[in-house]
């Protein structure tokens, strides 16, 4: 692993030109790669994928209104950059909070961090039952 000095380009930015060249020259392989990734997602979290498909259908058919504004930062975006975040789980596919891609990413980072914190606390309590954390 190459260590990247602070302030220099990120690893992804260094690799990106080569990646884009490969993608342009191998559209078939790229499509196959995307298809495989989708398959893996279906295997990993079918509930989430089902909810996404239902939501997409509902938006396409006007059953649910998709705004162009993020409900968190109130900025306007193109519709493709607004995501439906399933804030109460995937049971109700149409119960979403409309977030821009940036707020959506942040929200998931927060959820992952929160989950890790809860897990860490449970583990600690299992080892030190009387610890008050």
User: H/E element holding 52?
Assistant: helix 46-60
Per CB under 5 A, the list member of 48, 54, 66, 85 interacting with Zn ion is 85
Q: Is 103 in the site for Zn ion (CB under 5 A)?
A: yes
Q: How far is the CB of 55 from Zn ion (least distance, A)?
A: 11
Q: How far is the CB of 113 from Zn ion (least distance, A)?
A: 14
The residue among 73 and 109 lying less far from Zn ion, judged by its C-beta, is 73
Q: Is 93 in the site for Zn ion (CB under 5 A)?
A: no
With a CB cutoff of 8 Å and minimum separation 6, the contacts of 15 are none
The residue among 9 and 38 lying less far from Zn ion, judged by its C-beta, is 38
Other residues' Cβ atoms within 10 Å of the Cβ of residue 68: 13
Q: Is 70 in the site for Zn ion (CB under 5 A)?
A: yes
Q: How far is the CB of 110 from Zn ion (least distance, A)?
A: 11
Cα–Cα nearest to 90, from 54, 58, 123: 54
Rounded Cα distance between 114 and 122, Å, is 12
The answer to whether the beta carbons of residues 68 and 77 sit under 8 Å apart is yes
Interface residue list for Zn ion (CB under 5 A): 70, 72-73, 85, 100, 103
């Amino acid at each position: 692993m190459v260590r990247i000095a602070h302030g220099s380009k990120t690893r992804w930015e260094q690799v990106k030109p080569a990646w884009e060249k490969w993608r342009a020259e191998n559209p078939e392989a790229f499509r196959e790669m995307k298809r495989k990734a989708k398959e893996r997602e279906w295997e990993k979290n079918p509930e989430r994928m089902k909810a996404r498909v239902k939501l997409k259908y509902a938006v396409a058919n006007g059953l649910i209104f998709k705004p162009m504004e993020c409900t968190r930062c109130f900025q306007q975006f193109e519709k493709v950059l607004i995501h439906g975040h399933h804030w109460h789980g995937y049971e109700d596919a149409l119960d979403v909070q409309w977030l821009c891609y940036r707020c959506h990413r942040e929200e998931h980072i927060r959820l992952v961090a929160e989950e890790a914190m809860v897990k860490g606390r449970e583990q600690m309590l299992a080892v030190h039952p009387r610890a008050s954390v």
